[in-house]
Chains A and B, each alone.
Chain A
Amino acid sequence: MTQNKKIEVKKQAYLVNDEQADAIRQLMKSKSKLFFNIMGSIGAGKTLLLERLAEKLSPHYNVFVINGDVATTIDADRIAARGATTVQINTGGGCHLNANLIQKELDKINIDDYDIFFAENVGNLICPSAWDVGAQLNIVVVSITEGEYVIKKHPIIFKGADIAVINKCDLDGLGFDSDTLVEDAEKIKSGMEVICTSAKTYLGLETLIEALGIELP
């Protein structure tokens, strides 16, 4: 004999991930560490931007970067060559990082050995926006070569972001236009900081570092 029972759950599907993400955020805060989640599509320039950040920050701070990619350690190797400590997560078929993947990497290190943490999410403008990794700020990088409609076509990730970085602005006027993307980013989420950069030429890098709340001596 069996009986049927309806249980009221009222819990988010993301609950376990979100609780783990909050725990990471609290841990980082309690230890006065900074943790940033860098999202953006494939080829937006996230890795080169992180190389530049590593160059600028590593002489003054211990920087730890967690790279998410389907395969290879190319990105982690590139950033490590610029002075940061890096680890590569290969997600296989996974299209985003999550709090559990981040926690597993943090468990392997002594957090006190580092000052600033970055996660370079898997190249994707959709899935990473739904999965909290425990960062204090979410940054979306979009490049002007991705087309003038890229922000309009991916509104959710921008609505959830704290900073929008419009990258490859050195190509402005060479058949590409940053103005539309800057305008769209400013319109799509009021109050979001929008920064034009060129990771290639270092344009806007100091503004970005300032927006992240990092002081350079």
Chain B
Amino acid sequence: MHEYSLASAIVDQIKNIALEHNASKVKTITVSADPYEMVIPDLLQDAFKIITNELELFKDSILNMMILPAEVICIDCDYKGEPAVDGDEEFAYNFKCAKCGSRDTHLNIRHLTIETVDLEIPE
């Protein structure tokens, strides 16, 4: 259950950004994740709530999570982009290359990224 570690890492970064901007409240945090990033969205939300529960800066904060399309890199033809189909019969994450059809592809996992944060700043 490393979602707790991830939620902690997100909150730590956002705290610093809020401090830099003299923000009084963090309203919405938007993060993006690869579909094959090992993150369970519900667990991340739960961990975020636990960590921010008693932090005034994060009172009523919302964590939005966008799931990106999968991306593969083909070892045979260097194609980089969305796979043709999901998985193969044997290996869940050995996706088919959309260009040459090879199954010799590596997943290009885009790790969980903090995209934007909406802050409330006193005038």
Residue numbers of A with Cβ under 8 A of B are 1-17, 94-96, 98, 126-127, 129-131, 152, 155-156, 159, 184, 187-191
Contacts and interface: CB of A to CB of B under 8 A. Distances in A.
Interface of B: 1-2, 5-6, 9-10, 12-13, 17, 21, 23-25, 27, 31, 36-38, 75, 90-94, 104, 106-107, 109, 111-123
B116 A130 contact: no
15 contacts: A2-B25, A7-B118, A8-B115, A9-B17, A12-B111, A13-B9, A13-B10, A14-B9, A127-B1, A152-B92, A159-B93, A159-B106, A187-B94, A190-B75, A190-B106
Contact of A188 (B17, B94, B111, B119): B94
Given A4-B120, A13-B113, 5 more contacts: A9-B114, A96-B2, A130-B37, A156-B107, A188-B94
Nearest to B118: A6
A156 B120 contact: no
Contacts of A94: 5
A54 to B, nearest CB: 29
Given A1-B122, A5-B119, A14 B94 contact: no
A74 B32 CA distance: 40
Contacts, number: 113
A96 B1 CA distance: 9
A190 B104 contact: yes
Contacts of A190: 75, 104, 106
Nearest to A15: B13
Contact of A12 (B94, B106, B113): B113
